[in-house]
């Protein structure tokens, strides 16, 4: 009997697996290292081998896969982080699995994470969700009426690369300047803090360090350090602008903030809301901006959702 769903969240450094029952209850999880060598040729065989070690293929209803790049109709368009070009995951996995009855579904990792939060996390009960995953970069996920927002090129929901800043002009990995990612990710918070330390003469515990993490800036901000607070306030103002503009576009039911930076919790939400209401439709009186709840498991839950 096909009684399990496997969620596979493929990242540039590790591949996370979840074994779920058909109701989406997580029964087991594990991870393996991502082997990006030889143009990422070993990744899919390693995924199949790892699944086979844990689950009898005959018991698998479907495998959902999240990939850090644009995905359209279960085909990866390209994926720099995995050294992949175009890949038809349904075709390739059916070949490797030697079992065409296993349903294969794929999606962009950030879209999949948003779906996971909708399925079993902070957005449970909603059908239209926008999620910002604030890590080294910023992943954007959109679910509209229960469907992942892929867009015509698979490039939907690239919210980290919407342009919001014309002042700092920090260069983005994508080649542009002014992307949300350059001013509101962990990297962006560090860039803003360094600039504020140069521009201001104010004392700050940050001056003790040669280098520091975004977490340090957030921790000192919570303790009331002026430079740190100014930095987080600026970063959240840019995020509020992005959220306001996305609200004026999609008017979603809920907006989630996830990723490592989001561990700062309500402190961030309060700063975002302070600016959000100045920037969105005056007619929107009540924002629904929340911290995501599934952490690193959002991806595998979203992969399981794809098979539902």
Binding-site ranges for its own copies (CB under 8 A): 70, 77-78, 128, 140, 142, 144, 149-159, 161-163, 166-167, 174-176, 241, 244-253, 278-279, 281-284
Contacts with 248 (C-beta within 8 Å, 6 or more apart), sequence order: 280, 281
Kindly tell me which of 1 and 283 has the beta carbon lying closer to its own copies.
Answer: 283
| Least distance in angstroms from the C-beta of 117 to its own copies | 17
- Minimum distance from residue 10 beta carbon to its own copies (Å): 19
State which residue, 24 or 146, has the beta carbon closest to its own copies. Answer: 146
Q: With respect to its own copies, which residue has the nearer C-beta, 127 or 194?
A: 127
Nearest distance from C-beta of residue 208 to its own copies, angstroms: 33
Whichever of 150 and 297 has its CB closer to its own copies, that residue is 150
CB of 138 to its own copies, least distance (A): 11
18, 28, 261 from 293: Cα distances, Å: 17, 19, 13
Residue closer to its own copies by CB (options 129, 304) is: 129
CB of 245 to its own copies, least distance (A): 4
Residue 203: CB minimum distance to its own copies, A: 30
Q: Is the Cβ of residue 37 or residue 278 nearer to its own copies in the bound state?
A: 278
């Amino acid at each position: 009997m096909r009684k399990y769903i496997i969620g596979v969240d493929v990242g540039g450094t590790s591949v996370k697996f979840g074994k779920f029952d058909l109701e989406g209850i997580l029964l087991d999880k594990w991870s393996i290292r991502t082997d990006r060598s030889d143009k990422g040729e070993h990744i899919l065989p390693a995924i199949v081998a790892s699944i086979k070690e844990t689950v009898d293929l005959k018991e698998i209803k479907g495998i959902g896969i999240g990939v850090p790049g644009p995905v359209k109709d279960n085909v990866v368009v390209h994926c720099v982080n995995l050294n992949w070009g175009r890949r038809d995951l349904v075709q390739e996995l059916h070949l490797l699995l030697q079992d065409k009855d296993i349903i294969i579904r794929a999606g962009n990792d950030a879209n999949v994470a948003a779906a996971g939060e909708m399925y079993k996390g902070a957005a449970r009960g909603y059908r239209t969700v926008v999620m910002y995953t604030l890590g080294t970069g910023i992943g954007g996920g959109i679910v509209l009426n229960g469907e992942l927002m892929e867009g015509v090129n698979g490039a939907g929901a690239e919210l980290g690369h919407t342009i919001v800043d014309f002042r700092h002009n920090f260069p983005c990995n994508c080649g542009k300047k002014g992307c949300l990612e350059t001013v509101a990710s962990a990297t962006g918070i560090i860039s803003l803090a360094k600039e504020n330390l140069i521009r201001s003469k104010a004392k700050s515990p940050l001056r003790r360090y040669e280098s520091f993490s975004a977490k340090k800036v957030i921790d000192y901000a919570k303790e009331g350090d002026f430079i740190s607070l100014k930095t987080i306030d600026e970063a959240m103002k840019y995020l509020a602008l992005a959220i306001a503009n996305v609200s004026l576009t999609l008017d979603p039911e809920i907006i989630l903030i996830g990723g490592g930076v989001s561990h700062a919790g309500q402190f961030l939400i309060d700063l975002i809301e302070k600016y959000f209401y100045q920037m969105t439709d005056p007619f929107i009186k009540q924002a629904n901006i929340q911290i995501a709840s599934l952490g690193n498991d959002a991806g595998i839950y979203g992969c399981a959702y794809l098979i539902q």
